[in-house]
Structure 1
Amino acid sequence: MPRAKLRTPELRDRVLHAAVTMLAEEGVVGFTARKVATAASTSVPAVYELFGDKAGLVREVYFEGFRHLGRALAATGRTDDPRADLTGLLAAFRIFVREHPVLADVMFSRPFADFDPGPAELRATASVRTLITGHVQRCVDAGQLAGDPTDIAHVLLALAQGLAAQETAGWLGRSAATRDRRWSLAVRAAFAGLGPA
């Protein structure tokens, strides 16, 4: 009698953890279902049974990235200063990308040809967008920013993504002081441009 297959939630978590770790250590080029299966001490058929195919595994890595980012952003908390809180949120985004550049690449740059997030994936990442928009709304309500909170949130997230990509690629400056100065300059300029007339 064949042995029963054990596709447990624990195995699923182990495979997902192995996939995220492999991306961090080997990048997109070295990422294969076979290597992930070996790292998770399971088989390629088990990986495919759990995730469907490689694209399904990448899809779960994408979701895991947004869960991780959401936790990092939520941990920044709230004070009586909405602008300082929003600045802290952007700083937390920067730290996340610096610490997890390949994961951020999967989330924001689409490095895998066989995975292109559709409407369902974008809906699933809404908690991060909602959190950012909520911080922007507080700034609008306090008169610190002016305009549509959703539009402002998109602009600030695009700015943060661009700056983080430049920093990760080594183009934002050679020293930490230079990178910090340029990051702060861009955020201050954005807030000034988005402030009330």
Structure 2
Amino acid sequence: MSRTETREKIVETAARLLQEHGAAAVTVRAVAQAAGLQAPALYRFFEDKDALLDAVAEYVFTTYVAAKSDTAGTGDPVADLRAGWDAHIGFGLANAALFGLLVVPGRVSPAAEAGLAVLRGRIHRVAETGRLRVPEPLAVELVHAAGTGTVLTLLAAPPASRDLGLADAMWEAVTHRILTGDPAPDAGPAPLTDAERALLAEWLARPRR
């Protein structure tokens, strides 16, 4: 087995343990044993447990980020933003243990950064339509915070008691804060300053040959 194949096996094994047994089950010893390796062998691929968990997050998150990318946009930036919101909520509920790792305060996962980069791009395209009423960085923070909070709130409740209408209500609340009601009309050319008007008048008054 090549080095690349061994690394992939370790990551896939850790992802399976995370999915089946939660974050507490993902220890260096447990992952090594499940992968058929000695524990010290993992340190040839990952500096520490956090590095392994980052690799797991990227592995599981890759498909999700790809689905949020620009390859299948609807042509409506607001609709694309909503689709990303729904995907974020769905991913969090389907991957509770991994989602918890992605939102640990003070720990920035490359996978989480990739997701934020997609969100920034979608917010920017909404801004280009004239429908954003707040600065882009604030809009990103509000959507990200609302989405993360919604997932964590739903995960805190037993599955049978989760009200998925919360996600819709939160979407309505955050978009009411960041979006205008309709696309901004074309403002047309900026009005001329006094100096520009004087220069134009002087130019128009010149005799033509």
List runs of 5+ in structure 2 lacking aligned partners. 182-209
TM-score (norm 2): 0.76
Q: Shift of residue 147 of structure 1?
A: 2.0
RMSD: 2.6
Q: Is the 8 A contact 1:72 1:96 kept in 2?
A: no
CA distance in 1, matches of 2:160, 2:3: 46
TM-score (norm 1): 0.80
Partner of 1:152: 139
List runs of 5+ in structure 1 lacking aligned partners. 1-5, 111-115
Deviations 1:131-157 (A, max 9, x none): 111111121222222222222112101
Q: Is the 8 A contact 1:146 1:196 kept in 2?
A: yes
Partner of 1:130: 117
| Residue-pair matches, total | 181
AA aligned opposite 1:168: L
Secondary structure of the corresponding residue to residue 50 of structure 1: coil
Partner of 1:93: 88
Q: Is the 8 A contact 1:101 1:168 kept in 2?
A: yes
Partner of 1:3: none
CA distance in 2, matches of 1:117, 1:137: 26
Q: Which has the larger radius of gyration?
A: 2
CA distance in 2, matches of 1:184, 1:172: 17
Deviations 1:57-84 (A, max 9, x none): 2232244354343123228821122111
AA aligned opposite 2:168: S
CA distance in 1, matches of 2:27, 2:99: 18
Work out the percentage of aligned pairs sharing the same amino acid: 23
Partner of 1:113: none
Deviations 1:149-180 (A, max 9, x none): 222112101100100111112179825xx31x
Q: CA 1:60 to 1:140, structure 2 compared with 1: closer, same or farther past 3 Å? A: same
